[in-house]
Structure 1
């Protein structure tokens, strides 16, 4: 029997599994529906070339940063990172007369904007200050969910002082701050990084992306698929496993306790159904999929989660995309690995119009990436991504790849031609260099990742999303936990680095309790709590705002024999709890504490609290808040 089961193998799930295995020595079973691990960080090959399906660049990966330290820890330092060119993002906006490469560093960025728009100098200075202030507001939100409950009110007070324009619509902020429409377009064209157009997105989503990449961008050497491969080694060494082609159908709940999962094994010629049980059940596939598809739809559990499911439904879905994967005979002149954002339209971003133009073969916006250069592959490759409404593809819903008919093939051919033509306007010579092309649509994403409608961004980052309380009630009186909880992309942001933070942060991704030994607690305790504040502070300052969306819950049975087990000496992994009855104590800390214990050479072995089902984050594709 395994110590923990994790549904999905995205970056949040793998981070959680790797830390449970390497820090606590737990045997972890990761169940992945696809034939390749990694979620949207995996890569695929065709004709000898390789493409990265979701990861396009990652910020905050300079040596010594917390995200970098975490990945070094998980991979034993075997994963190396390549720094992208200093001008990692190029914006081509011909109708505004702009072809601008964004430099690394805040001061260089501000000088560039001021040189292009001297009349907006004061507004640019205020904008840079607002972005940093809003980034700090979001960071404190994560810190509030990681500190002991007694400290949370003080952090909430500090966060309130920084609220400012955080929950203002991005479009409204830009129109209020700047007069020049070209500057507004330049600053918001990269909204694809967080998946919600400026007319709907909260300004905090925009600010987090800007700050995340402020010091440049990085990419894993050998491609994004190396991340899953190297984390898997640590999982296997501890007796764990990643099983592929395993379709989890249901989380099994008995007497208010999550006890296992029902799985269909599709690795062989004939599907085989079976049950797998463990003390801890972790879902890393997203809030919508977990609440609406995996948890019971009837009975006490359904009643307990009804409010959360209603709020998720009201939030709607995020964006999806069409991606054109290209093999090139050679790279056109001037291509150095930097990303290229193209926007030939003027006026506000309208997803419905963008989708119609794309399906008609005349797209106006796209993102271009050159994964072969970034990863060091000898094959010349490119990816062109254009965002689309998933409803446009629902006439083929339920069909399988390769069996969608001639009309679908004609559509993908038209989109391929249109995207290639558009990209050639910004990268002359690209069209003539194409040797092989393959198109992925929202249907492709849904087929391989199970994200409903192919919406890999999770819940949209609107102001309503940041205000929503998605914590599961404690009891029929709907009293909620002191910390919000979510799972998958349920929380506030996206990304590769964000996936790490989601599994470490807040109300609970499997953490070490920060409370004094002997304190009444449903979790575990640390014998050196005085060391934790520095860990939370410095760790979160660098990584908390990358993304958030992990949480740990426990539907705990009062008669569980291990429920009141005394805390062992030293550092032990525990879980945050969401209890099915009122009055149970709630104590949570973070895996950063566990990492700190390992760095301090403190004992790190122990058993996780049984009966837990926990939510951890998944990455997105065009990501990013942490990597796209």
Structure 2
């Protein structure tokens, strides 16, 4: 059995002190931890779940069936990209990535189908083939996406600036980016075209950032579209390999990862971090970095008086959307069932906002369904699982549907809760069989997760998966940066930058810059050297 790179938190306080403690083992925390350990710092990660990795982990059921909980694909994983080079460093150059092919997403709107190809020029041509009367709008759109993302790089880097630079140069950088971030995606696209079908196709991947075009910031839309413009990739062995290999690198560098370690408070005295509290155990450190979201950090791990130092007001921004997911196991292989590598985005009509405002557990899959095929994407699946395949089918789920059951125990909630799950499952299977009739008769396992499932495992208070909503207001919040006004307290994770593994990685890198300062160049210089 391979050695684990983490251990269960002991009942006795570890007889160690740390330079830095990181709360939460998601991608932002793992990235920062590895950067700091590479720089010679003494670092520990404390994770409340019994499995580390945050949304990069997966879960297994009978016969070895496995599903991702958050990473369905990534962009920019060709070997020449900067994100790939950072990922290779984190994972010790042990993780391979598989292209999803020339077509990596397929969008269904009503009865119409639109393929999303890898490569900007391929995308441009395909969109013009679909919409020959809107060629100028398509060119303008791609130009706007590029412009927004060029400014976005500077906008996010500014989050690592010291106060003097932030108040001078940073002010200019932020104002230049706000021309893209302060408007919704729909507002921007309506200046280019009145063709709502074209807009719907251009926004067909909006589930990747959790909001329809009428609500999302165009900056978030552009960043996510740009991330996938050259295609989708999937890790060999599935998403758990990201965390497994990163924590191995971290451990080789001397880092410690503890699971079942539920941090109950960040201990602050005279506006300076002293350490963390886990139940009745105090662990001292020089600094604490929270990777569990700004809501959980400011409103649950700090006192009300301490959180004032950070000027955080959750009323100014809402949580991102929640979801429901049907996990499906089948008794035939991907090849036998002709399951695709590409993802399916299925919408009832081209006006997403209207559809999503009227959803219920029984009609949500008909209004919107995202269907992913993890076993088909993974080139190693067939070797280890020669007679099975897996599917994930997701739709929007409202937390308010489940509030009356939130205090009931996991796996033992009342029958009414189970009935909602059954209703959703039946509706989603109906949608699946309509899109992929060959799957009918081969389903051997199903399981439904709800926003309460997300809350149970991630501790996000409203079952959200993308942290704070990617609305225009999000990009104008001054506290969304690594450094807080409490000395020694910093933040990482998708709230600080943007949704997804790449966004969380970026947050970890930015936070490392604020800690290591010019010493960060040594880490970048030595990234290609093996960790032994």
CA distance in 2, matches of 1:148, 1:248: 29
2:195 to 156, 176, 180: 180
SS at match of 1:125: helix
User: Hey, what does 1:512 align to over in structure 2?
Assistant: 516
Cα 1:600–1:127, aligned 2, differ >3 Å: closer, same or farther? closer
User: Hey, what does 1:252 align to over in structure 2?
Assistant: 267
SS at match of 1:262: strand
User: Hey, what does 2:118 align to over in structure 1?
Assistant: 104
User: Hey, what does 1:498 align to over in structure 2?
Assistant: 503
CA distance in 2, matches of 1:248, 1:426: 44
Say yes or no: does 1:67 pair with 2:71. no
1:406 to 369, 390, 415: 415
Cα 1:405–1:289, aligned 2, differ >3 Å: closer, same or farther? same
Conserved in 1, the CA contact under 8 Å of 2:325 and 2:448? yes
Give matches, 1:316-327, under 5 Å: 316-327=318-329
User: Hey, what does 1:280 align to over in structure 2?
Assistant: 287
User: Hey, what does 1:30 align to over in structure 2?
Assistant: 45
Q: Post-superposition shift, 1:68? A: 1.2
User: Hey, what does 1:289 align to over in structure 2?
Assistant: 296
Give matches, 1:153-172, under 5 Å: 153=168, 157=172, 160=175, 164-172=179-187
SS at match of 2:440: helix
Cα 1:350–1:394, aligned 2, differ >3 Å: closer, same or farther? farther
Cα 1:600–1:429, aligned 2, differ >3 Å: closer, same or farther? closer
Conserved in 1, the CA contact under 8 Å of 2:57 and 2:240? yes
Cα 1:84–1:472, aligned 2, differ >3 Å: closer, same or farther? closer
2:359 to 355, 361, 380: 355
Cα 1:407–1:162, aligned 2, differ >3 Å: closer, same or farther? closer
Deviates more, 1:276-285 or 1:50-59: 276-285
CA distance in 1, matches of 2:449, 2:528: 47
1:386 to 381, 384, 395: 395
Q: Post-superposition shift, 1:334? A: 4.0
Conserved in 1, the CA contact under 8 Å of 2:211 and 2:470? yes
For structure 1, the residue ranges without an aligned partner over 5 or more in a row are: 265-272, 515-570, 572-590, 605-628
1:17 to 28, 33, 52: 33
User: Hey, what does 1:40 align to over in structure 2?
Assistant: 55
Name the structure with the higher helix share. Answer: 2
Q: Post-superposition shift, 1:513? A: 2.3
SS at match of 2:303: coil
SS at match of 1:246: coil
The alignment's C-alpha RMSD in Å is 2.7
Q: Post-superposition shift, 1:336? A: 2.5
Conserved in 2, the CA contact under 8 Å of 1:457 and 1:489? yes
CA distance in 2, matches of 1:599, 1:58: 21
CA distance in 1, matches of 2:254, 2:451: 36
**Per-residue displacement from partner, 1:110-141 (whole Å, max 9, x unpaired)?**
11111111111111111111111111121121
Q: Post-superposition shift, 1:174? A: 2.6
Say yes or no: does 1:223 pair with 2:243. no
Conserved in 1, the CA contact under 8 Å of 2:34 and 2:253? no
Cα 1:471–1:113, aligned 2, differ >3 Å: closer, same or farther? closer
User: Hey, what does 1:113 align to over in structure 2?
Assistant: 127
Conserved in 2, the CA contact under 8 Å of 1:323 and 1:386? yes
Conserved in 1, the CA contact under 8 Å of 2:156 and 2:497? no
Q: Post-superposition shift, 1:196? A: 1.7
Q: Post-superposition shift, 1:255? A: 2.7
Cα 1:303–1:124, aligned 2, differ >3 Å: closer, same or farther? closer
Q: Normalising by structure 2, what TM-score?
A: 0.88
User: Hey, what does 1:57 align to over in structure 2?
Assistant: 73
Q: Post-superposition shift, 1:149? A: 7.1
Conserved in 2, the CA contact under 8 Å of 1:31 and 1:246? yes
CA distance in 2, matches of 1:472, 1:53: 26
User: Hey, what does 1:623 align to over in structure 2?
Assistant: none
**Per-residue displacement from partner, 1:233-284 (whole Å, max 9, x unpaired)?**
22223333211111111001123221111114xxxxxxxx422221221110
User: Hey, what does 2:208 align to over in structure 1?
Assistant: 193
Q: Post-superposition shift, 1:441? A: 0.5
User: Hey, what does 2:524 align to over in structure 1?
Assistant: 596
Conserved in 2, the CA contact under 8 Å of 1:250 and 1:294? yes
Cα 1:142–1:594, aligned 2, differ >3 Å: closer, same or farther? farther
Conserved in 2, the CA contact under 8 Å of 1:10 and 1:38? yes
Q: Post-superposition shift, 1:351? A: 7.1
Cα 1:316–1:71, aligned 2, differ >3 Å: closer, same or farther? same
Q: Normalising by structure 1, what TM-score?
A: 0.75
Aligned length: 502
CA distance in 1, matches of 2:155, 2:184: 19
**Per-residue displacement from partner, 1:431-477 (whole Å, max 9, x unpaired)?**
332110000100000000101111121111111111122269999xx
1:143 to 154, 157, 164: 157
